[in-house]
């Protein structure tokens, strides 16, 4: 989990190589062309590759679906999902929902698909990790109880589990795919609002509206997902009208793209954040860590380095997550040179002695040096040379993560987190829980863990979120990591589109598109 999600935020640079040749658009009033990046192998619904798996959201519908424009979910194929203890869930399906091959969606199509996705160890296998029997070919926590009913039993109570079910990894698969999984790569058969016409994620895939779809009908009849290797060529095709929509805005165009596209843009805070983490053995003084945080001029760095493509973080939780708040971090995450120096003085007065050199580690195979150096300079200047932060590159992301997880770093290090599903729990538990799979800094707080467990058991979503928010308040107090900024979600569209929205993961939501 941690490596895929942490790796994802390092891949936001331009893709090398020549672009695929531009393809003349079809003359269809109800067709749009979506520009994407080239995909890796799309082997099943569990593939979460940012390049290529975008069409899966259009092809499949799960038990629940995200309400367009929000991070909230509503029933889709399910008519009810009930529980008395947040551990055993009883699922009832709508009758008559069909796959695109005409076969009915039944309980076994969910259960067997989940077993298959979890067992194949794809990007999203970890999402099934709380189900009893995870790691075995058939999870004991999944039981078919009728044609349209099944139960899910978790190894421990987890109310937020149902928040994951709108993700494509939890989609059902038809009998034909379950019997022959390799057929998915050639032509996926889904149950969503669109069906496959042609399938080639590395070049061009075409989907068309399924008129038999029992859910809400999208306005667009046909979508062409066209893959590019060069974002500059893709951007040129967007400006010329050969492409109607893309989320891949070249970094060199950030300053001008709103003007270039005459305001036909989407710009919003995203689901990825960047933090600086302290290992437990380094900088073991809260006041010192607060001094570092308040010495970072986030506003200037995001403006000068990212051209406004990042938003200074005021929270440990990306703003697209359910349960996120506007400014729980308060002054601790705000640039304040005077208070930064006061916190440093307080730390020194307590007997704490910072290291002569405080490294800030990052992987050098992405563009992180562009911001790591200004962060170090901001801290050093603000604290008057009493602290010397030194950027320390590690050659590759793999080597960097090996050093982090092996506990071999003697200084701070960067961590990026991409939400697996849009909920506050998906940040707090994996990154800061004592047994969190991505708790790289080794943060330990029994009260924090107790709040997470209480929230996991809480059947009221609103009450659970309040408990998660109390846990985040402890992070602000203890500051085991420093929130820096949230990645923005950007998109541009052509004159043919009057309105469009993004999914919680930042892709085009076909259900929101309205043509001009």
- Taking only the tens place, the pLDDT of each residue in 228-258 is 989 999 999 999 999 999 999 887 888 788 9
Tens of pLDDT along the chain (516 residues)? Answer: 333 444 434 333 333 333 444 444 545 669 999 999 877 667 788 776 667 678 898 999 999 998 887 888 999 999 999 999 999 999 999 999 999 999 999 999 999 999 999 998 776 888 899 999 999 999 999 999 999 999 999 999 999 999 999 998 999 999 999 999 999 999 999 999 999 999 998 899 999 999 899 998 999 999 999 999 899 999 999 999 999 999 998 878 887 889 999 999 998 888 899 999 998 777 789 999 999 999 999 999 999 998 777 899 999 999 989 999 999 999 999 999 999 999 999 999 999 988 889 999 999 988 899 999 999 999 999 999 899 999 999 999 999 999 999 999 999 999 999 888 899 999 999 999 999 889 999 999 999 999 999 999 999 999 999 999 999 999 999 999 999 999 888 899 999 999 999 988 888 999 999 999
In terms of C-beta density within 10 A (0-12 exposed, 13-18 middle, 19 or more buried), how is residue 195 classed?
Answer: buried
Residue 451 to residue 453: CA distance in whole angstroms: 5
CA angle, 286 as apex, 434 and 293 as ends, to 5°?
A: 100
3-state secondary structure of 344: helix
pLDDT of 75: 96
With the C-alpha atoms ordered 390, 394, 399, 400, is the resulting torsion angle positive or negative?
A: positive
Residue 32 to residue 161: CA distance in whole angstroms: 35
The pTM score is: 0.86
Residue 454 to residue 323: CA distance in whole angstroms: 16
pLDDT of 511: 92
**435 contact partners, CB below 8 Å, separation of at least 6:** none
| Residues 55, 305 contacting (CB under 8 angstroms) | no
Q: How would you classify residue 165: left for phi > 0, otherwise alpha for psi between -120 and 50, otherwise beta?
A: alpha
Give Cα 502 to chain centroid, integer Å. 13
Q: Domain residue spans in the chain?
A: 1-58+192-262+494-516, 61-181, 269-488
Closest CA to 311 of 298, 322, 324, 321: 298
pLDDT, tens digit (0-9, with 9 covering 90-100), for 200-225: 988 999 999 998 999 989 999 999 99
Q: What is the dotted CATH code of the domain comprising 1-58+192-262+494-516?
A: 3.40.190.10
Residue 279 to residue 255: CA distance in whole angstroms: 36
pLDDT of 52: 67
**49 contact partners, CB below 8 Å, separation of at least 6:** 39, 40, 42, 123
Identical fold at 1-58+192-262+494-516 and 61-181?
Answer: no
How is domain 61-181 classified at the architecture level of CATH? Alpha-Beta Complex (3.90)
CATH of 269-488, one of 3.10.105.10, 3.90.1530.10, 3.40.50.1110, 3.40.50.10150: 3.10.105.10
């Amino acid at each position: 989990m941690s490596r895929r999600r942490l790796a994802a935020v390092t891949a936001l640079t331009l893709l090398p190589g020549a672009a695929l040749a531009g393809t003349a658009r079809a003359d269809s009033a109800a067709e749009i062309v979506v520009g994407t990046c080239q995909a890796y192998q799309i082997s099943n619904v569990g593939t979460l590759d940012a390049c290529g798996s975008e069409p899966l959201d259009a092809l499949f519908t799960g038990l629940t679906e995200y309400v367009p424009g929000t991070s909230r979910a509503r029933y889709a194929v399910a008519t009810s999902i009930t529980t008395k203890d947040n551990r055993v869930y009883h699922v009832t399906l709508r009758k008559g929902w069909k796959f695109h091959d005409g076969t009915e969606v039944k309980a076994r199509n969910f259960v067997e698909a989940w077993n298959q996705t979890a067992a194949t160890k794809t990007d999203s296998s970890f999402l099934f990790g709380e189900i009893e029997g995870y790691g075995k070919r058939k999870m004991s926590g999944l039981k078919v109880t009728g044609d349209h009913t099944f139960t899910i039993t978790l190894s421990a109570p987890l109310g937020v589990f149902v928040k994951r079910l709108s993700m494509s990894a939890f989609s059902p698969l038809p009998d034909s795919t379950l019997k022959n999984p390799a057929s998915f790569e050639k032509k996926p058969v889904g149950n969503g609002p669109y069906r496959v016409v042609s399938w080639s994620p590395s070049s061009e895939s075409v989907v068309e509206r399924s008129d038999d779809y029992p859910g809400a009908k999208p306005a667009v009849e046909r979508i062409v997902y066209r893959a590019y290797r060069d974002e500059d060529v893709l951007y040129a095709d967007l400006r010329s009208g050969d492409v109607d929509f893309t989320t891949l805005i070249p970094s060199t165009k950030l300053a001008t793209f709103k003007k270039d596209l005459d305001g036909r843009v989407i710009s919003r805070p995203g689901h990825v954040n960047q933090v600086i983490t302290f290992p437990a053995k380094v900088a073991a003084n809260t006041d010192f860590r607060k001094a570092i945080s308040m010495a970072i001029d986030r506003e200037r760095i995001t403006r000068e380095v990212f051209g406004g493509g990042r938003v200074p973080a005021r929270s440990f939780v990306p703003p697209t997550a359910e349960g996120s708040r506007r400014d729980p971090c308060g002054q601790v995450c705000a640039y304040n040179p005077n208070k930064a120096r006061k916190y440093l003085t307080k730390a020194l007065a307590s007997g704490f002695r910072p290291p002569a050199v405080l490294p800030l580690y990052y992987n050098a195979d992405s563009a992180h040096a562009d911001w790591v150096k200004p962060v170090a300079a901001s801290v050093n200047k603000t604290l008057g040379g009493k602290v010397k932060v030194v950027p320390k590159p590690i050659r590759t992301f793999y080597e960097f993560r090996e050093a982090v997880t092996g506990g071999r770093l003697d200084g701070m290090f960067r961590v990026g987190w991409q939400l697996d599903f849009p909920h506050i729990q998906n940040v707090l538990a994996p990154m800061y829980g004592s047994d969190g799979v991505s708790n790289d800094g080794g943060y330990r707080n029994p009260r924090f863990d107790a709040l997470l467990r209480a929230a996991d058991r809480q059947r009221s979503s609103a009450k659970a979120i309040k408990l998660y928010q109390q846990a985040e308040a402890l992070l602000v107090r203890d500051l085991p990591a420093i929130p820096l900024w949230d990645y923005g979600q950007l998109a541009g569209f052509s004159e043919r589109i009057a309105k469009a929205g993004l999914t919680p993961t930042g892709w085009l939501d076909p259900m929101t598109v309205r043509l001009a």
